Structure 1
Amino acid sequence: MRFFLVPLFLIVWPLAEIAGFVLVGRALGLWATLGLVIGTAVLGAFLLRRQGMHILREISTEGREGRVPGRTLIDGAMIVIAGILLLLPGFITDIIGLALFIPFVRGGLWSLIGRRIVVVRTSSSTRYRYDGDRSSPGGKKSGPVVDLDEQDFHRNSNPSSPWAGPKNEEH
């Protein structure tokens, strides 16, 4: 029933943006209007990069602590949408984009849509990852490391597999 609103929205939105250009152009003039459009695009790119890196660090921290970063992922998605809206020409998209960069606004949206979003773990088993030789700033390895001796680990290969190489015979 609400699907008919999409074509209406696709017609009304550009018309509203054009009306915004006309109103701002009359009030400020051509060059100031173009400066605002270019300025908000540059601001959007700057904020997207800065806030995006902050969100990525938060997601990484929550993942290392074993928590599911549901709200942080939604915040990241809202920041990406805000950056895209600021990059698009138009004053209505700029207002919405700037509003989405404000944490209070994102929190309000989360309270509206958070009840409908469910984060599901795909596996009930704990996964371990190997971090190689990278160390945390404190000198300790980050994450659990499982150390196996040679007799604790062996491969069961399928001899009929096309990837099984020639057998190594011991002499």
Structure 2
Amino acid sequence: MFPIILGLFIAVPVIEIGLFIQVGGFIGLWPTIGLVLITAFVGASLVRSQGIQTLMTVQQRIQAGELPAQQILEGVLLAVAGVLLLTPGFMTDMMGMTVLLPGPRARLARYLMGKVVVQGQFNAGFGQNTYHHDHPGDSSEGQTYEGEYEHKDDHDRLK
């Protein structure tokens, strides 16, 4: 994982500098700077409006008693889009705008949700209540449920 991150930290700025030189040579210095600033402001306002809309959807799903996992992940993706749009550069702006669009963002969120495995105990009123907790490698022990019981004899039932 470290070599990939290191490669990105080197490759992305090099590509962005190359794009700045190409675009600046084509349209000039000040229009290039203006274009970078405009994409940052427009991107920030779009991230804000999309974020508010996603937050409202999360609240509606919670009120309906559903787990808004995809909407929460889309909110995280919106934050990533905001960072990409505020980072100066044309490549990062294109990536941020792509993530900002609802269709690609929803597909990316579904893809990421398919790759994530959630383990642990969850009981917050979303659907089923379970006290079951899996431990990898403990399959021989079976399932454990917490509870209380009271032993009653046959003569207690007759009273």
TM-score (structure 1 length as normaliser)? 0.67
Instruction: Specify the alignment match of 1:82 in structure 2.
Output: 81
Checking the alignment, whether the CA contact within 8 Å between 2:50 and 2:78 is kept in structure 1 is yes
Deviations 1:89-119 (A, max 9, x none): 0111000000011112113313432212246
* Structure 1 segments (4+ residues) deviating >4 Å: 118-123
**Partner Cα distance (1:117, 1:14) in 2:** 30
1:1-171 → structure 2 map (5 Å cutoff): 2-118=1-117, 122-124=121-123, 126=125
**Partner Cα distance (2:46, 2:4) in 1:** 31
**Partner Cα distance (1:88, 1:54) in 2:** 23
What SS class does the counterpart of residue 27 from structure 1 fall into? helix
Identical amino acids, percent of aligned pairs? 34
RMSD of aligned alpha carbons: 2.0
**Partner Cα distance (1:118, 1:62) in 2:** 21
* Residue 5 (structure 1) shift: 2.1
- Number of matched residues? 126
Checking the alignment, whether the CA contact within 8 Å between 1:68 and 1:119 is kept in structure 2 is no
TM-score (structure 2 length as normaliser)? 0.72
**Structure with more contact order per residue of length (Cα contacts < 8 Å, sep ≥ 6):** 2
Q: Which 5+ residue runs of structure 2 have no aligned equivalent?
A: 127-159
